[in-house]
Homo-oligomer: A and B are copies of this chain.
């Protein structure tokens, strides 16, 4: 009587079936107390097998599923993670996000995703706070731009942040792929083939991966006493690669280009083809990422394969570590050099010109 005017008509009941079963319904059907049902639900000991079976039968019969809201309310744990992915739907971040998502599901965590194209500090913070307000237990940030990282560094969110990023930041945990060594591999490959004039087309200056690749490129050249001419700065897009490719095409000393990603490498190839330069006859090109298309460029692109699958899993492993106060960082994975046909020894005549 006092307990509400009858059955269960209420707001938001746009499906006809009655209110879902609760733990008490299960308890009643199984002839036990709700607490025993809870024990079965949480796999706690001290439940007689026969009782457990009866409860499980009742659960099945009533198609009972526990309410995550009620559970979260009392336990203060949501088993929910926030994922912020910035930038365009590019191959790298998309893959990382996908595999992270799978790894999280395997670990029985739910992921709330926030995709964002803007990475200004205000947007980043309000998005992070939005996630915190959802009581996520940790935030994973997949960000290419330095600004996205900075925006979340220093502010007190109340939950740990795991950044998938190529740079270190004070308060943030981090997983990353070793861009620096990857770039070294690229340059070593070209040097091994006999190239001495190795240009670089970099990613945007606000991209951390791009900076690491520049660093690896410059360091390797330096160690070999080779000139590191000013890198051309692109924006990851094929279009910017094309633009810089046109510039480079008129540089008669250059025999090879290390391009900071495969998409720009495509643009470079296109520019070279237009200019009548043959790849790898006149110029060798190395990309970065190994996107699925790279093997079918004209010619197939030598590039560095990144292990995004592993990266996604590392991110989840790191979350688990942080949440368990078990703070060890997985070692960064090093990209694999995939040699295809866009690289070869420099042509006789260009080498002569240079030396």
Contact = CB atoms under 8 A, between A and B. Distances in A.
A89 B115 CA distance: 15
Given A67-B73, A73-B70, A266-B296, A115 B133 contact: no
Nearest to A76: B12
Contacts of A115: 97-98, 101-102
A85 B102 CA distance: 11
Interface stretch (A181-189, A237-245, A328-336): A237-245
26 contacts: A10-B76, A11-B75, A11-B77, A12-B76, A12-B77, A14-B323, A68-B133, A69-B73, A85-B98, A89-B97, A89-B98, A101-B113, A101-B115, A102-B115, A102-B116, A102-B117, A112-B112, A112-B113, A238-B295, A238-B296, A242-B296, A266-B293, A266-B296, A269-B298, A270-B300, A293-B293
Nearest to A78: B69
Given A69-B72, A133-B68, A266-B296, A14 B325 contact: yes
Nearest to A94: B89
A12 B75 contact: yes
Contact of A105 (B78, B102, B114, B241): B114
A17 interface: yes
Given A65-B132, A68-B135, 11 more contacts: A12-B75, A14-B323, A17-B158, A89-B97, A89-B98, A102-B116, A105-B127, A238-B295, A242-B296, A266-B293, A270-B298
Interface residues of A, number: 66
A201 B136 CA distance: 46
A2 to B, nearest CB: 18
Interface of A: 10-15, 17, 65-70, 72-73, 75-78, 83, 85, 89, 91, 94-95, 97-98, 101-102, 105, 110-117, 127, 130, 132-135, 158-159, 237-239, 241-242, 263, 266-267, 269-270, 273, 292-293, 295-298, 300, 323, 325
B69 A295 contact: no
A134 B68 contact: yes
**Which of A13, A89, A132, A300: most chain B Cβ within 10 A?**
A89
Closest 8 pairs (CB-CB, A-B): A238-B296, A69-B72, A89-B94, A101-B115, A69-B73, A98-B115, A113-B113, A94-B94
A15 B159 CA distance: 8
Contact of A110 (B102, B112, B239): B112
B89 A95 contact: yes
A271 to B, nearest CB: 9
A78 B78 CA distance: 13
Given A17-B158, A158-B15, A292 B269 contact: no
Contacts of A68: 69, 133-135
B133 A65 contact: yes
A63 B298 CA distance: 57
Contacts of A69: 68-70, 72-73, 78, 135
Contacts of A112: 110-113
Contacts of A65: 132-133
Contacts of A323: 14
Nearest to A308: B89
Contacts of A297: 266, 270
A72 to B, nearest CB: 4
A20 to B, nearest CB: 8
